Structure formats: C-alpha cells, structure tokens
Structure 1
Amino acid sequence: MDLTILHIEDDPEIGSWVSEFMTERGYKVIWINSGHNALEHMEGADIVILDIMLPGLDGYTIGQRLKQKYPEKPIMMLTARTSIEDKLQGLSFADDYMTKPYHPDELEARIQVLLRRSGAVSPELLQLGHLSIDRKANRILNSKTNTEVTLTGKQFHIFMYLLDHPNQILTQTQIYEAVWEDPYIKGDKTLMVHIRHLREKIELDASSPQIIETVRGIGYRLKE
C-alpha cells in the first residue's frame, strides 16, 4: 500500500520531523513550505496536512482552494493555533484539526481514520508502522523492503488477535486460550517463544520491539 501525504509546513524543524516519522511508518511524504504550488501535487496525494501560519497565502485560504478543487481528498489542519475561533474556521472545510504539540502516534492514528473515511484505505487494509496488512487476503507486506512477511499459522493467529485488540494489554492466558483454544498452564513458555519468532519477522529490530510491547508480569500489547 503506497499512500502519499502532502505536508504544507514552513517550519523546517516540524516539516523534517513529520516527514521523517511518516516515512518510517511506510508513507510517501511530499513536503512543501508554502501553498503556492500545492495544486501541482494534489493529484498524487491521498491526504493533506496543512499548517495555518504560512508565508504568503495562509492555511485557511489554501485549504479552501484545495477542498474546492479536490473535495474527496481529506485535509488535516496541524497548527499551534488553539482558539475555538481558529478551530471552527479550519473545520469549516478541513476534515480534522489537530493542535501542536502532539504525539506522533496520535497523528498517524488520525491520518488512518481520514484515509479510511475517504476510501484511500479499505477497512480490510491497515498500515501499522512499516507493515501493510491486507486482512482480506491474509497478506502482510514490509513496505521498507517491499517484501511479503511469511508467518506460520500460529504466528499469524497471534498477530491477528493482537490486531483485533489494539493498544489493549492482553494477558498471556487471554492470548494463549484464544489462539490454541486450550486452557493456559501457568509457566508454559509456548506463547513467549512464538512471540519471539513473530517479532523477528515483523519488527525492524526484534531486540527493541515497537509493534508488540511486553507488559512485564501481565502479557503483551500491540501498539497502533
């Protein structure tokens, strides 16, 4: 899944940071520092991230023009302006309004919501960091290497169960009994071994997992 973000931001620190973060998550980012040539990039963009304070035309004017010409393309305002007046003006045409500072995981989650609403991402498709997951076809693609991730049956069922409960702490008992459909015996290392091998296949660095988090003494959590 090759999704493109058009990011209109004149602050070099924010622009480079967002571009780097979203690129690491598997998106293509077109970063421009003003809205003067934004229309040139809209055809290939799936979503627009737009600041308000820009040189020349402000974000409101740019956003209204883009929305008028491309009504199906979602626009997210990403700005330090927090007043209710600014939010109402932005939401008169934009699909979401997010204020700085923000957590990068929330930014990506909101982008995913807008992409699903617009139809750029079907409900069966999910972007999780560098992984593109097609639940309908039971395929997982590593967008960093553009290769398919091959899992064993049990690894796949564990991963799908975690995907069904994003950001929830799941006990070893819950996961084991859902996947193996047998009672979990305390001290059994089977699940731990499968999680370790699963991480080796899906994590960029299995020794420092960013997708499947260990919650010490309890179980695991999939970070979406």
Structure 2
Amino acid sequence: MNGFTILIVEDDRLIGDLLQKILQREGYQVFWKTNGSDIWTELRQADLVIMDIMLPGEDGYQLTQKIKSAGFTLPVLFLSALQDIDSRLQGLTLGEDYLVKPFDPRELLLRMQKMLNHAYGTFVQIYHLFVDAERRKVFNQQIDQEISFTAIERKIFFYLYDHKDRILTKEQFFAYLWPLDDRNPNIINVHIKKLRSKIEDTQGTIIQNVYGEGYRLNTRVKI
C-alpha cells in the first residue's frame, strides 16, 4: 500500500479535505466520512482508520470501541485537537496511535507507514508491484491483487529480489535452483518469460535481460 485504503472520519471540512488530498497524493485510496453513522461499508475495505474524537453523534472513542468489538483488527490513528494527557491515554488505549492537531503531514505519513508496516508487513514498491519480502508475496497495485506464482516462479522472483539491482548469471540460477539436475539452457528463459507475463513486465523493465551476462531485478526507477 500505494495499495492501501484509508478511512477518514472527520467532521471538519477543511481538515478532511486536506487529509484526503495529502493521502491521495501519496497514492492511498481514501474514503472520507463526517460522522460514524455510515462507515461500515467503507470499513470493510479499509486498511487503516484516521479517527477524529469530537464528532457529531457518537464520538471517536465510542466508534473505535464499536469497530474493535465488531471484530475489525485494522489499526486506528486518533487525530484530535484534544491535547490533555487523559484524552491521549484513552486514545492510545483504544487505538494504536494518537496525533494532535495541528499536525505536520510528514509526521502523519510516517506514523501511518509504521502502523501499516506493523499490521500488514513491510512492503517495498517496485514500479507497480508491492513486494512483501517477509511473507514472500507480491501484489500488483494496478489491479490491487496478489500475484499467483508457482513454487519455482516464487523462488526465482525472490532470488532476484534478494539480489536486486545486481546481475545474476544462469550458472547462479542453476546452482541455486537445480544444483544436481541436468541443465537445460533454455529453462531459465522459459520461467523468466512466465514471470514477466504475470507481473506485467512485457518490456523487461523490471526483470532485465543483460545481454551475455544474465538477469537483473531493477528497483531504482519508479513509475
């Protein structure tokens, strides 16, 4: 994620509009609600909630209690003008973090990223891909789906990823994947072609064929 979806619950129009623009500029998908009466459909799609406290109707504390009681495990970041220690402690007890208004967008984004990393794993963006190296998963941001690899495709992708921006020769691939088998010189090419198709890299921009040397997973240029 950006890949992640954020639900904002904020009744101040200026702050809500500002939050929406900041998050969309960073690539997040955003839902914005001014109260808690109709958040439940969007809540099922969200990965994180930014919650005001002083809301019309149920306040942010009550809403967060209902969200947690309903079985939702997504993290909640309280964003409030309340600065007293009791309010902050209550927010940190019910949710995962608390940030006081007025806020610096850089701090907000950093706190959100830490919360998302903790909740969902650390993702690295490579072009339109999100790579979760810890869980050995790859997601296509363009269609918001995990890419389905065969076991050998996953091994090849993460072998490249673990040596990203470095050239790996065919000899290195064979030594890693099939150290005791007969070596078909075309088998690497076949698997790389299938990998490129699955990650929508038909031009070989991400997995590059370095002529006469081998293959390299490029990470330095983003779209």
TM-score greater than 0.5 by the shorter chain? yes
| Structure with greater Cα Rg | 2
Give the alignment of 1:40-189 within 5 angstroms: 40-119=41-120, 122-123=121-122, 125-126=123-124, 133-134=130-131, 136=133, 157=165
**Unaligned residue ranges in structure 2 (runs of 5+):** 143-163, 167-218
Q: Any idea what the Cα deviations from partners look like across 1:195-216, whole Å, max 9, x if unmatched?
A: xxx99x548xxxxxxxxxxxxx
After superposition, the Cα gap between the structure-2 partners of 1:202 and 1:9, relative to the gap in structure 1 and judged at 3 Å, is: same
After superposition, the Cα gap between the structure-2 partners of 1:140 and 1:112, relative to the gap in structure 1 and judged at 3 Å, is: same
CA drift of 1:118 comes to 1.5
Tell me what 2:28 maps to.
27
CA drift of 1:133 comes to 4.8
TM-score, with structure 1 as normaliser: 0.57
TM-score, with structure 2 as normaliser: 0.58
After superposition, the Cα gap between the structure-2 partners of 1:141 and 1:71, relative to the gap in structure 1 and judged at 3 Å, is: closer
Q: 1:26, 1:131 within 8 Å by CA — same for their partners in 2?
A: no
After superposition, the Cα gap between the structure-2 partners of 1:81 and 1:23, relative to the gap in structure 1 and judged at 3 Å, is: same
Q: Residue 37 of structure 2 aligns to a residue in which SS?
A: coil
When the two chains are superposed, the root-mean-square deviation of aligned CA atoms in Å is: 3.2
Tell me, in whole angstroms, the C-alpha distance in 1 between the residues paired with 2:82 and 2:128: 33
Q: Residue 50 of structure 2 aligns to a residue in which SS?
A: strand
- One-letter amino acid of the counterpart of residue 57, structure 2: G
After superposition, the Cα gap between the structure-2 partners of 1:132 and 1:38, relative to the gap in structure 1 and judged at 3 Å, is: same
Tell me, in whole angstroms, the C-alpha distance in 2 between the residues paired with 1:100 and 1:132: 34
CA drift of 1:37 comes to 1.2
Tell me, in whole angstroms, the C-alpha distance in 1 between the residues paired with 2:72 and 2:20: 24
After superposition, the Cα gap between the structure-2 partners of 1:54 and 1:8, relative to the gap in structure 1 and judged at 3 Å, is: same
CA drift of 1:70 comes to 3.1
Give the alignment of 1:202-213 within 5 angstroms: 202=222
Q: Residue 17 of structure 1 aligns to a residue in which SS?
A: helix
Identity percentage over the alignment?
Answer: 34
**Unaligned residue ranges in structure 1 (runs of 5+):** 144-155, 159-197, 204-224
